[in-house]
Structure 1
C-alpha cells in the first residue's frame, strides 16, 4: 500500500512539474536570458513531457496505484495522455496491450511492418499508430485554439509556445521512440518472459561510479524503459522507478509476479 501511494505521488508530482514548468517557460523573457538557459529549459520541458507518457504507461499497467482505488489510474492516465498530445487513452491502452502480447512481432503496433524498417520510416509508422488522420485534426485544432488563447489572452509570445510546447512534444516523441522502442526492439522479438531465468539479467556494474552513471543515463534517456525494457516485459506491473531493482535483484521479478498472479 505504501509503495502504491508512493507511485501515486510520483505520478501527481510529474504532472505538477509539467504544469509549473509550462507556466514558467511560457512567460520567460527570451531576449533577457542566455541561449544556454533556453536550451536547458527546452530539454527540461522535453524530459517532463516524456514523463507524461510514462505516467500514462504506468496507469495502463496499474503499476503505481492502490488496488482499492484503480479508478484513479484511468483518470490520471487520461489526463497524462491528454496533456501529452490530446491522445485518446483507450486507444493507447489497446495499442500497448497489443505490444505486450506480441513484442517485436506481427501485430505489435509499435514495431515496424517489415517494410518501414529504417529509423525515420519506423518512427513515422510508430506515430501513425497513435495519431490517425482524425486524431491529427483534433490535435491540430486543439493546439491552435489553446495557442491563440494563450497568445491573445495571456500575451504569451509565439516563440515561447514553439520552444516550450511544440518543440518538446516533437523531441519527446523521438525520445520515446528511439530509446523506448527502436533500440530495445530493433533486433526483433524479445526473449520469452521466463521470470526465473537469471541469465537474462546482467550483473551489477563493477564499481559505484559506473553503476551511478549507468542509472543516471537510464533515467535521463527514457525513465529506465530503454535500458530495462526486457525487465519491463517480464514484470510489467513494476513502476518505472523500480525497474533498476528488477535488474540488480532478479528474484524481485519472480516474487512480485507470483504475488500479483495469486
Structure 2
C-alpha cells in the first residue's frame, strides 16, 4: 500500500478534528450579536464539522480512516466519536456492523418501521446513554464558567444536536424508509456532488456506501460516477 493511500484518510481526519477544535475555540470567544449573520454562519459551519467527526468515526468502523494500521484507525475512531458528544466508539462499532449485516430488518439497530419522529427517537435511544448525558452536563457547566452561556449553547451544544438530526435524516431515514427492490434496501441521492457533500459528506449516496463499505466518505462520489457510467441506478431521492 502506497504512503498516499495509507495516510490520506489520516490527513483528512486530522483536518476535520483541527477544523472542529479551531472553530469551536474561536466561536466560544466570539462576540455574539444575534442581529448579525455571523453567529448563524458559525453555527452552520460548526454543525457541518460535528457531522464530519461522526462520519470520520464511521469510516474508522469500516477500517478506512487509516487502512493497514488498525491501532491508528481505531484511535481516530475513538477520538472522533468522543468529541461528538462523548459517543463511545467500542459501543458504536458492533451496532454499526449489525446495521450492515441486517439492514432494514428487526435486527437492524438503526431501523424502525414507524413514522419519522418515532424512528428518530428510536434512533436516539440506541445511541444516547446516561454516562454520555452526564459527561455532556459536566462539560456544559465547565464551559459556561469560562465562556458566555449563549456561546456555549450556540456553538457547542446546538451543533451536536443539529448534526445528530442531520446524520439521522440523510444517513438513515431518507435512504432506508419505504420499500426497496435492491439488495441493500437503500435509496441514493441524485447525482449532485456539491449538495451531497454539504448535506452529509456524500453519505446521501447511501446505496453506494452499502455496496462498497470499504470506500471512505471522500471517495463515494467517484463510486456514484462509476455506477452512473455502468447505468446502475438504484431508486433515487
TM-score (norm 1): 0.80
How does 1:62-211 map onto structure 2 within 5 Å? 62-67=63-68, 69-112=69-112, 114=113, 117-131=114-128, 135-136=129-130, 138-152=131-145, 154=146, 156-188=147-179, 191-192=182-183
Compare the two structures and name the one with the higher helix fraction.
1
Give distance in 2, aligned partners of 1:149 and 1:8. 30
Residue 201 of structure 1 and its aligned partner are, at CA, apart by 9.4
Residue 146 of structure 1 and its aligned partner are, at CA, apart by 1.9
> Secondary structure of 2:84's partner?
helix
Give distance in 2, aligned partners of 1:125 and 1:164. 26
Larger Rg: 1
Per-residue displacement from partner, 1:212-233 (whole Å, max 9, x unpaired)? xx1100001111111x100110
Aligned length: 226
Partner of 1:10: 12
> Secondary structure of 2:213's partner?
coil
Does the CA-based 8 Å contact 1:41-1:164 persist in structure 2?
yes
Alignment of 1:240 onto 2:221? no
Stretches of structure 2 lacking an aligned partner (at least 5 in a row): 231-237
CA separation of 1:160 and 1:245: change in aligned 2, threshold 3 A: same
Does the CA-based 8 Å contact 1:245-1:252 persist in structure 2?
no
What's the C-alpha RMSD, in Å, of the aligned pairs?
2.3
Give distance in 2, aligned partners of 1:28 and 1:45. 13
CA separation of 1:190 and 1:47: change in aligned 2, threshold 3 A: farther
Give distance in 2, aligned partners of 1:146 and 1:39. 23
Stretches of structure 1 lacking an aligned partner (at least 5 in a row): 194-199, 206-210, 254-262
List structure 1 runs of 4+ shifted beyond 4 angstroms: none
Give distance in 2, aligned partners of 1:105 and 1:22. 38
Corresponding residue to 2:202 among 224, 229, 235: 224
TM-score (norm 2): 0.88
